[in-house]
Structure 1
Amino acid sequence: MTFPRGRRILAAVLISVLLLTTACTPKTPGRFDQAQQQSSRQKSGQAVAKDATQGSKLNKFFPAGGDGYQRVYTQEKKGFSEANLKKGGKVVAQLAISDTTSTPSAAAKFSKSTKKVGGYPAVTLGNTQTSILVGKYQVKAISKDPTFTATDREAWIEKFNLDGLAKLK
């Protein structure tokens, strides 16, 4: 299929004009642009207290794997550390330690707790989470597989070095 030379030139000019006009038009602000600008202006790390413990210092209190379980660290930042607990290559639970200095409301939920795990106040959230409060640190186990029960969560929480964590300042 051949076009006369004039039509090819006209098509090239029209495409160039179309590209030029669409590339130079100002972008209409999206619905999230204002929120993005506000969050970009905030100082980074503002949500974490200055005296919160570094996540790398929390790692040593996690239980080691064993009995077919493997512990794999997944996240570490100021005031928080997290590891997946795998069995047979599948994530069955998440284990975490967080410094409640930045989130006092996280510690407040333990004030009415009547249950204890490892000698520390415990709360259960829904069917998948068990947490305890060790000083200013929340230790949490979250089931990611239905085979990992509340009893399993409590047993793994007790495997943390809770007494060592309690002494951490």
Structure 2
Amino acid sequence: MTVLNWRRVIAPLMLSLLLLVTGCTANEPSQFDQAQQESTRKGAQPAVAKNATQGSSFNKFFPKPGNGYERVFTQEKKGFAEAKLKKDGKDLAVLAISDAASDSTGGISATKKFEKSVTKIAGYPAVDVGTTQTAVLVSDRYQVKVLSRNPLFTKADRQAWIQRFDLAGLAKLKK
């Protein structure tokens, strides 16, 4: 009987000791801790500019679905809207409009990549990013992108779909 009592006492003691030891050890900082500190410090740049266009304002400029193509909006927030382009239930591409007022990469404006562009689509400066993305810059502010999600969706397809956006209407959007 004493052996049974001994086991009943030792198990909770060991569990308590284990919780005490692991609970009191110092946690190593995560990879996101520095980013969190920088983004919340006083005077830090906001993630989205105050003057960024509401994402819902972009929806009317996206290409209309039809001819077997389906457009499914997937994300909408201040300064950005995105939709998937599908056909026969398969994802072909991602269509997006973003407001470059908020978009910067490492402090470099997203519009910089268009400065030396020699290619134009529908009269707007165009760039290819890698082998799966084509973008145009409208009114030096709005970036319209098409990203291939299927190997059969080519650069020519991306360029054609960019032209299906209402780029002239987007150019008139009040900033």
**TM-score category by the smaller chain?**
0.7 to 0.9
Please give the TM-score of this superposition, normalised by the length of structure 2: 0.83
Q: 1:71 to 1:37 in 2, by over 3 A?
A: closer
Gaps (5+ residues) in structure 2?
none
Gaps (5+ residues) in structure 1?
none
CA offsets 1:16-55 (integer angstroms, 9 cap, x no match): 33334433x1432324364155046247980222111010
Query: Quick one: percent identity of the two aligned structures?
Result: 55
Secondary structure of residue in 1 paired with 2:114: coil
* Structure 1 runs of 4+ with >2 Å offset: 3-23, 26-34, 39-45, 102-105
Structure 2 matches for 1:7-156, cutoff 5 A? 7-23=7-23, 25-32=24-31, 34-35=33-34, 37-39=36-38, 41-42=40-41, 46-103=46-103, 105-135=109-139, 136-156=141-161
Give the aligned CA root-mean-square deviation in angstroms: 2.4
Q: 1:131 to 1:7 in 2, by over 3 A?
A: closer
Question: How many aligned positions are there?
Answer: 167
CA contact (8 A) 2:84 2:94 kept: yes
CA contact (8 A) 2:39 2:45 kept: no
Please give the TM-score of this superposition, normalised by the length of structure 1: 0.86
